[in-house]
Amino acid sequence: MSAYLKIDHVDKNFERAGTTTEVLKDISLTIDKGEFVSIIGHSGCGKSTLLNLIAGLTRVSAGAVLLENVEVNAPGPERAVVFQNHSLLPWLTVYENVNLAVSKVFSGRKTRAEKHDWVMRNLDLVQMGHAKEKRPSEISGGMKQRVGIARALAMEPKILLLDEPFGALDALTRAHLQDAVMEIHSRLGNTMIMITHDVDEAVLLSDRIVMMTNGPAARIGEVLDVPIPRVRDRIALAADRTYLKSREAVLKFLYERHRFVEAAE
């Protein structure tokens, strides 16, 4: 069986003013359908670039990204992105933000009533149905990110790409949203790839954790399996041995072998 998503010997270089910077070097990774994979690394290691490559927002310099054996070379709704800073359109209401995606992705495939139901279903999935008439400026940061997730889910993507989705949230809100994402993952069985720099978040949510070395020319340093059965409960896991061991492994990778040297640049 071939992999659902295959990242095949991908390089990414950026050229600016005649000088070429190698950002990613020889990245290979396969992800199965329904898997939850986290990509973790220090800031500036190119993990967001990797996500953008999968999304098709930036082009690979060498190698290829294949989704169901089709090469990715442009962005599209089958690879929906949840952006770090929610990026809802401020002049649209919560409902209209999700509806923009639904009416575009399902144009000609769903009737008006079906589209409305689908928007509401996705808003209810993230418990935001009650705020559908609100504008983004009227709701909290956590709520905005919920709507951002609803918008991405509403595209019915083959892969959901989360770019540090909880980075800008406080710890309690973040925990709520992590639970919400876990529940959605278990209910819908989506394939999800999440960028994070939070070790606990990675271990709690992921089936596998991809650890990146420091840039420039970052590589995949190690891939860690997290064999904790689902449904996962954050309180029970706090003392779980597999959890603690996984956590330790990631910490050791990040802070012993690939310590981030701030002055390196």
Residue that is written with structure tokens 């910490």 in the block: 251
| HEC readout, 170-184 | CHHHHHHHHHHHHHH
**Interaction between residue 232 and another protein (CB under 8 A):** no
**Interaction between residue 129 and another protein (CB under 8 A):** no
**Interaction between residue 173 and another protein (CB under 8 A):** no
> Which is closer to another protein, CB of 102 or CB of 181?
102
Rounded Cα distance between 260 and 229, Å, is: 32
- Strand partners for 14: 21
Rounded Cα distance between 71 and 246, Å, is: 33
Judged by CB under 8 A, the residue of 30, 71, 89, 244 near another protein is: 89
Judged by CB under 8 A, the residue of 3, 57, 64, 175 near another protein is: 57
H-only helix segments in 189-240: 199-205, 234-237
**Interaction between residue 150 and another protein (CB under 8 A):** no
Element counts in the chain: helices (H) and strands (E): 8, 10
Rounded Cα distance between 85 and 169, Å, is: 10
Judged by CB under 8 A, the residue of 13, 61, 85, 242 near another protein is: 85
| Cβ(25)–Cβ(53) below 8 Å | no
**Interaction between residue 101 and another protein (CB under 8 A):** yes
| Cβ(68)–Cβ(238) below 8 Å | no
**Interaction between residue 168 and another protein (CB under 8 A):** no
In the shown chain, the binding pattern of residues 15 to 54 toward another protein, with x for contact by CB under 8 A and - for none, equals ----------------------------------------
**Interaction between residue 135 and another protein (CB under 8 A):** yes
**Interaction between residue 67 and another protein (CB under 8 A):** no
- Binding piece for another protein, criterion CB under 8 A, among 3-11, 96-104, 203-211, 250-258: 96-104
Residues binding another protein (CB under 8 A): 55-57, 74-77, 79-81, 83, 85, 87-92, 100-101, 104-105, 135-137, 144, 155
